[in-house]
């Protein structure tokens, strides 16, 4: 019962919070534009092609499953369950999406960025150490600033659009959080994966120069991804 109340609070909170911010997506020009599978479409649009409104049903606005924990048996000990336009067609043009994040003890949602969305996160179970880093300051003598906080159930934290951020479960038990994002398709760039695991790989000369380390260190890091 307690968990159900927390879940309801989480969904209500992220929905309200996201509706109060300016979404990065364009404003819709009609009541709704349910997405259709456009993989074979002859045109490309910024978003998804609209389904014929006469064919729209309640199921186009429905998603089930956020009550189920994600499998955290992986190298970082976390799992993100997304509800974007790719999972819920009715989100098309509405400028909002939702995720559930499960964390094993010491589980990490590694440093990443959402290029198209601000994120509002609420913890419903466990204890998380969260933070984000600012963009490069105008003064080259200054460093990027880190903002961090320890969050407990019911606590909320916001990650500004495009900034690198993370969450780490510092507790001895599992943790669960929900987040609302101000885009139907916020995108995600996991920093380590992008830098060391791209295809084709970034030149080791480039990364050696950028990180100011021995080339063997770069070779090792690339081998991990």
Q: What pLDDT sits at residue 20?
A: 47
Q: What pLDDT sits at residue 36?
A: 81
Q: What pLDDT sits at residue 194?
A: 97
Tell whether 165 is in a known binding site.
Answer: yes
Query: Which one has a higher pLDDT value, 62 or 11?
Result: 62
Query: Is pLDDT at 103 greater than 50 in this prediction?
Result: yes
Q: What pLDDT sits at residue 192?
A: 97
Cα 203 from Cα 18, distance rounded (Å): 39
Question: What is the greatest pairwise CA distance in the chain?
Answer: 62
| pLDDT, mean of residues 129-155 | 97
Query: Which one has a higher pLDDT value, 29 or 115?
Result: 115
Task: Classify strands 175-181 and 146-151 as parallel, antiparallel or unpaired.
Answer: unpaired
Cα 133 from Cα 204, distance rounded (Å): 25
**Residue 210 CB: number of other CB atoms within 10 A?**
11
Token duo for residue 210: 């950028």
Token duo for residue 36: 């259709």
Cα 63 from Cα 87, distance rounded (Å): 8
Tell whether 152 is in a known binding site.
Answer: no
Angle value at C-alpha 178, between 172 and 184, nearest 5 degrees: 145
DSSP three-state, residue 195 = helix
CA 74 to chain centre: 18
**Residue 189 CB: number of other CB atoms within 10 A?**
14
Q: Are 125 and 155 in contact (CB under 8 A)?
A: no
Query: Is pLDDT at 46 greater than 70 in this prediction?
Result: no
DSSP three-state, residue 14 = helix
Closest CA to 186 of 121, 107, 127, 102: 121
Phi, psi of 222 (to 5 degrees): -65, -35
What pTM was computed for the model?
0.85
Q: Are 89 and 53 in contact (CB under 8 A)?
A: no
Q: What pLDDT sits at residue 31?
A: 74
Torsion of CA 22, 133, 196, 77, to 10 degrees: -90
Query: Is pLDDT at 59 greater than 50 in this prediction?
Result: yes
Query: Is pLDDT at 27 greater than 90 in this prediction?
Result: no
Q: What pLDDT sits at residue 110?
A: 98
Confidence of residue 37 (pLDDT cuts 50, 70, 90): confident
Residue 130 CB burial class (10 angstroms; 0-12, 13-18, ≥19): buried
């Amino acid at each position: 019962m307690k968990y159900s109340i927390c879940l309801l609070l989480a969904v209500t909170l992220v929905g309200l919070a996201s509706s109060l911010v300016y979404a990065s997506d364009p404003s819709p020009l009609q009541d709704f534009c349910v997405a259709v599978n456009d993989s074979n479409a002859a045109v490309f649009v910024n978003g998804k092609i609209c389904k014929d409104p006469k064919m729209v049903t309640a199921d186009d606005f429905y998603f089930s499953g956020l009550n189920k924990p994600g499998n955290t048996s992986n190298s970082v000990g976390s799992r993100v369950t997304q509800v974007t336009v790719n999972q819920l067609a009715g989100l098309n043009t509405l400028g909002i999406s939702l995720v559930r994040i499960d964390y094993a003890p010491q589980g990490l949602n590694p440093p990443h960025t959402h290029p198209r969305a601000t994120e509002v996160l609420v913890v419903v179970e466990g204890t998380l150490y969260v933070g984000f880093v600012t963009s490069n300051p105008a003064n080259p003598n200054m460093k990027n600033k880190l903002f961090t906080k320890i969050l407990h159930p019911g606590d909320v934290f916001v990650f500004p659009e495009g900034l690198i951020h993370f969450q780490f479960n510092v507790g001895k038990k599992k943790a669960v959080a929900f987040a609302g994002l101000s885009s139907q398709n916020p995108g995600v760039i996991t920093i380590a994966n992008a830098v060391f695991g791209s295809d084709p790989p970034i030149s080791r000369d480039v990364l050696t120069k950028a990180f100011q380390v021995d080339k063997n260190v770069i070779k090792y890091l690339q081998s991990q991804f």
